[in-house]
Amino acid sequence: MSISPELQRALLAAAHEAAAASYSPYSNFPVGAALYLGDDAPLVLGCNVENASFSMTLCAERTAIVKAVSDGHRANMRAIAIVATKTRPCFPCGACLQVMREFAPEILLIFEDAQGDPVVHALSEMLPFSFSNQDLPQ
């Protein structure tokens, strides 16, 4: 599956909209994510949600993925655009990659390069050796 350049840019724009809702008073590092579930479903947006107990912080990517799962869309995650307002590109943390691996091993990740243009990487490039339910005893 591939994502057209027009859709890549639309997803990055939606991720910027998502970042506007960021609750990040401790890091001052807003992040937004836009999860694409196919043309027949609305985009799912997520932002980072911090907490005074810092380790409770939820990243933008996990916010979007958990929203989608909770809405019954766990089978259709095709692409996720990720942006930060203060740096480009903004790559996901390992925890978010692992959560993507659970629901969408084929997902494409869309980032902004230093010029703001889209760049796409498959999850398998970002997390080439991964642990999954296949590794658990049957």
Q: Which residues bind ligand THU (CB under 6 A)?
A: 24, 27, 29, 31, 48, 50, 57, 59-61, 82, 90, 92-93, 96
CB of 122 to ligand THU, least distance (A): 17
Longest Cα–Cα distance in the chain: 47
Count CB atoms within 10 A of the CB of residue 23: 13
For ligand THU, which is the closer residue by CB, 92 or 118?
92
Q: Does residue 61 carry a catalytic annotation?
A: yes
CB of 128 to ligand THU, least distance (A): 18
Strand order in the sheet with 118-122: 44-47, 31-36, 79-84, 108-112, 118-122
61, 106, 112, 125: the active-site residue: 61
DSSP 127: S
CB of 97 to ligand THU, least distance (A): 9
For ligand THU, which is the closer residue by CB, 37 or 82?
82
Q: What angle do CA 3, 127, 48 make, to 5 degrees?
A: 75
For ligand THU, which is the closer residue by CB, 10 or 80?
80
What residue type is 102 in one-letter code?
E
Which residue has 């992040």 as its token pair? 31
Catalytic residues: 61
